[in-house]
Homo-oligomer: A and B are copies of this chain.
Amino acid sequence: MVVLDGPVTDEDPAVELERLRASIDNLDAALVHLLAERFKCTQRVGRLKARSGMPAADPAREAYQIQRLRALAQDAALDPRFAEKVLNLIIDEVIRNHESIKRLGER
């Protein structure tokens, strides 16, 4: 048996797996609700930008967000490259949303 770092318990592996998966499912539900709240904010930003004639994308803001997220990830022992990938996926979706809000306004 290979023992890596971290405690080895005498719990049945199948039971331990189920316990960990229940925590992962809880965290995922929280993640979905956080993302939903974040998109509520960015939808407001999208409407604000559309009615004020501001461009959908803002490279300076995105650069700031990526730098900040990488630093936060580092502090939280999360791979900064992974955090950046997630943020890029979110930003792409936000820009798509902003552009469709703008198109709706132009119809």
A34-75 vs B, CB cutoff 8 Å, 1 = contact: the mask equals: 111111011111011111101000000100010011001100
Q: How many chain copies does the complex carry?
A: 2
Once the chains bind, are A82 and B76 in contact (CB under 8 Å)?
A: no
Interface size on A, residues (CB 8 A): 62
Binding site secondary structure of chain A: helix
Given contacts A47-B4, A105-B4, contact A21 B89 (CB under 8 A): no
Footprint of B on A, CB under 8 Å?
Answer: 1-6, 8, 13, 16-17, 20-21, 23-25, 27-39, 41-45, 47-52, 54, 61, 65, 68-69, 72-73, 76-79, 82-83, 85-87, 89-90, 93, 101, 104-106
